[in-house]
Amino acid sequence: MRRKRKDKSNKVIPGVVVSLSILTAVYLGLSLYFTNHFHFGSIINGIDVSGKTVEEAETKLASEINLYTLELDERGDMTETIKAADIGLKHDSNKIKELKDKQNPFNWISTIFKKDESEASQIVTYDEELLNKTLNNLACITSSNTVEPKNASFEYKDGSYEIIDEVLGNKINKNALHDAVGDAVLNGKAKLDLSASNIYENPKYTSKSQEVIDTKNTLDKYTGLKITYKSGDKTEVLDGSTIHNWLGVNKDMEITFNEDKVKNYVYKISSVFNTFGNTRNFVTTTKKTIKVSGGNYGWIVNNSKEVKDIIEAVKNGQDITKEPAYSQTALAKGSNDIGDTYVEINMTKQHLWFYKNGALVVEGDVVTGNASTNTLTPAGTYVLNYKERNATLVGEDYSSPVEYWMPFNGNIGIHDASWRNEFGKQIYLTNGSHGCVNSPYELAKTIYQNIDAGTPIVGYYE
């Protein structure tokens, strides 16, 4: 039994040794082979170069590179292609040899189960000048139908704003296109989706952007308010139907005001509330209704201030009732801005009345401007500028001291005239004043003691 076992053992050991020798010889032989050939599973630029020498790999790669085409998928279902010859595409022999040199010939056995794939960017090059020329000639660059991207916008409709969707357009970002195409070529990609690769110039704000939503809400706030102008018996209402015409939105989604349009509206407000220089229906002491034109009395809207006030009021976004801002005021509001405190001068009858709070304070005859020398006192509604005691009136050919001076139209005013013995009648036709209203001393004194600056002075000829 021992002899049989020993004989069997003696036969197995040589067999194992022979097998190991054979495997070693195969391993060493293949290792020697892979000294000059690529490992199993070697793939370059998607091309299998297993078992190829560097020269053989170069030949195979060159034939495949010449067939390379990159398809560009563009907006509007358009496509264009870039071919290898268009951009001088070729492989780099030195890089292929470097890839082979990196492979350890004794590690070939591990590549039976694992592919050794190299990226195209390691071995492919293109001509930069040809690439730029090719890109510049693409239809997506040269087309005359290029649509610029446009931010989401707004439309005023039925009392509120709607968001209008953005326009994507088809304008190419040339730098992004260059980089994306270059990357696709170097990596052997067959297709490039320009939209997915963010190559188009896109709008900064879309209908879903929070900035757009916030701007819409603010626009609605501005146009949802009502400003009621009210002064005396005059009313004017401002609301979104007018305000929306003033509003704009800039590229940063900031709301702007067209001040020229706001000014135009303020001019309208002025035409309603201004009474300066108006022709007025005036009821005289004799109960006769006459029209009085001219003068410097009345309300004047301060246009520049009102423009600023309106914009501020709109930005506050709240309903308000207000009066316009005035640069000049009158005693009363509304159509009858004279009120019940005024001086009435009938220059045809040469008579003056002074009413205060509806009650007659004083009346009397006067002498107005000289008709024969063309210095008639101008008709119109004026405002008493101020009053002064002991003034000296100076002209080209006179210097007259007076005790009570009340100017209402430049150098024209009411004053006492101690040099006159008579007043009224038709004196003014040939011996009138230089334009002032000459009054008896007591009349001038009483007016002076009861009148205030700003009081209307109504003078007329019947």
If pLDDT is split at 50, 70 and 90, which confidence band does 116 have? low
Element (H, E) at 328: strand 326-328
Query: According to the 3-state scheme, what is the secondary structure of 441-460?
Result: HHHHHHHHHHCCCCCEEEEE
The closest of 33, 50, 46, 36 to 112, measured between CA atoms, is: 50
Q: What is the pLDDT of residues 213-248, one digit of tens each?
A: 999 999 999 999 999 999 988 999 999 999 999 999
Amino acid present at 457: I
Is residue 118 within 8 A of residue 103, CB to CB? The reply is no
pLDDT of residue 339: 94
User: What is d(CA 404, CA 407) in angstroms, rounded to the nearest whole number?
Assistant: 10
Whether 415 is catalytic? yes
Asked if residue 120 has pLDDT above 50, the reply is no
- As given in the structure block, the two tokens for residue 293 are 């034109």
Mean pLDDT of 279-297: 95
Q: What does 343-387 look like in DSSP terms, one character per residue?
A: EEEETTTTEEEEEETTEEEEEEE-B-B-TTTT-PPPPEEEE----
Q: Give the DSSP letter of residue 329.
A: -
Q: Tell me, what's the pLDDT at 12?
A: 62
Q: What b-and-e string marks burial along 118-150, b requiring 16 or more CB atoms within 10 Å of the CB?
A: bebebbbebeeeebeebbeebebeeeeeeeeee
Ramachandran assignment for 350, one of left (phi > 0), alpha (psi -120 to 50 degrees), beta (any other)? left
Q: Which H helix or E strand runs over 212?
A: helix 210-223
| Pairing outcome for strands 227-231 and 234-238 | antiparallel
pLDDT of 8 above 60: no
Catalytic: which of 39, 244, 415, 434?
A: 415
Confidence (pLDDT) at 188:
84
Structure tokens at 217: 């809400």
State the amino acid at position 286 in one-letter form: T
**Residue 121 confidence (pLDDT) above 50:** no
Q: Which of 298-307, 315-324, 330-339, 447-456 has the lowest mean pLDDT?
A: 330-339
Residue 460: per-residue pLDDT? 98
Tell which wins on pLDDT, 186 or 121. 186
Please say if 178 is a catalytic residue: no
Question: Taking residues 268-287, what's their average pLDDT?
Answer: 94
Q: Over 90: is that where the pLDDT of 118 sits?
A: no
On the question of pLDDT at 397 being above 80, the answer is no
Q: If you average pLDDT over residues 365-375, what whole number do you get?
A: 97
pLDDT at 35 over 90: no
Question: What band does 7 get if pLDDT is binned at 50, 70 and 90?
Answer: low
Report the C-alpha gap between 44 and 116 in whole angstroms.
9
Pick the range with the lowest mean pLDDT from 40-44, 272-276, 333-337: 40-44
CB 137 within 8 A of CB 83: no
pTM passes above 0.85:
no
| pLDDT for the residue numbered 45 | 66
The set of residues, in sequence order, having a beta carbon less than 8 Å from that of 413 and lying 6+ positions away, is 385, 405, 406, 407, 436, 437
37, 140, 434, 436: the catalytic one is 436
Residue with more model confidence, 188 or 380: 380
- Segment 318-331 mean pLDDT: 95
Instruction: Report d(CA 71, CA 64) in Å as an integer.
Output: 17
Tokens of 407: 């100017």
Mean of the per-residue pLDDT values for the chain? 90
- pLDDT of 5 > 80? The answer is no
Least confident of 21-25, 109-113, 243-247: 109-113
Q: Which of 168, 185, 60, 57 is nearest to 120 (CA)?
A: 185
- Region 377-392 average pLDDT: 96
- Picking from 371, 338, 333, 374, the residue whose alpha carbon sits closest to that of residue 356 is 338
pLDDT value of residue 2: 57
